[in-house]
Amino acid sequence: MDDKGVAYWKDVIGLIRNILIVWFLVSYGAGILFAPALNSINLGGYPLGFWFSQQGSMYVFIALIFIYAKLMGKLDEKHDVHED
């Protein structure tokens, strides 16, 4: 693999790593680890930790799909591997 390919895959793996970090922090962090601390805050009448574990994580996951698609498109253009 040439240097362009290595740079492209390094950027792709970095993007995936960052997306997975956000996914972990929202699902495991906000929903489980930090739930007792977040439960002191109410959102729509429900404790925030409960809301994240039941509703908020799904919204964040859907947002992550669109963010990933947008950023991958930019990476493809940056490395000139995009579709015309």
What are the tokens at 11? Answer: 């950027």
Q: What is the Cα–Cα distance from 3 to 74, expressed in whole angstroms?
A: 19
Choose among 24, 29, 30, 22: nearest CA to 51. 30
pLDDT of residue 49: 86
Whether 1 has a pLDDT exceeding 80, the answer reads: no
* pLDDT 10s digits, 38-81: 899 998 888 988 888 888 889 999 999 999 999 999 999 999 98
Domain boundaries, the chain: 3-78
β-bridge mates for residue 47, sequence order: 42
Angle made by CA atoms 46, 48, 39, in degrees to the nearest 5: 90
